[in-house]
Structure 1
Amino acid sequence: MNIIILLLVASLSVAIIFLIAFIWAVKDEQYNDCQTPAIRMLFDDEKIKNVKNNIESNN
């Protein structure tokens, strides 16, 4: 029974530490990225190769 209480306390401690780290990162505006959505449309899409024509030309 003691090990269950110990594991419960340990897991809750780790969860609270990660929650505090997440809240700190959000308040520090680490997840704010206003520039990338504006330039995302400028990136070229990868061209799709026509596999069917390649296979037919090899036969």
Structure 2
Amino acid sequence: MSIIYVLIPIAILFVLIGLAIFFWAVRSRQFDDLDKEGFSILFDEQNTPKRNSDNDKTPL
């Protein structure tokens, strides 16, 4: 029964730390544009120039 007196404060501490991190992330605008990074990985190849396979075989 005495372990409850240790575990409850630890659990409350973890909840408070989690809430503090969540509110910090909201205040620092981490959740403003959730779709940008997801789409950037899909369309990343359009921004880079395409390499021609003939140019890859140039002699040194």
Q: Which whole-Å CA distance do the structure 2 matches of 1:11 and 1:23 have between them?
A: 18
Q: Percent of counterpart pairs with the same letter?
A: 32
Q: Which whole-Å CA distance do the structure 2 matches of 1:34 and 1:18 have between them?
A: 20
Q: Which residue of 2 aligns with 1:23?
A: 23
The number of residues matched between the two structures is 38
Structure 1: 5+ residue stretches without partners = 41-59
Structure 2: 5+ residue stretches without partners = 40-60
With normalisation by structure 1, the TM-score equals 0.54
Runs (4+) of structure 1 moved beyond 6 Å? none
Q: Which whole-Å CA distance do the structure 2 matches of 1:13 and 1:2 have between them?
A: 18
With normalisation by structure 2, the TM-score equals 0.54
RMSD (Å) for aligned C-alpha atoms: 2.0
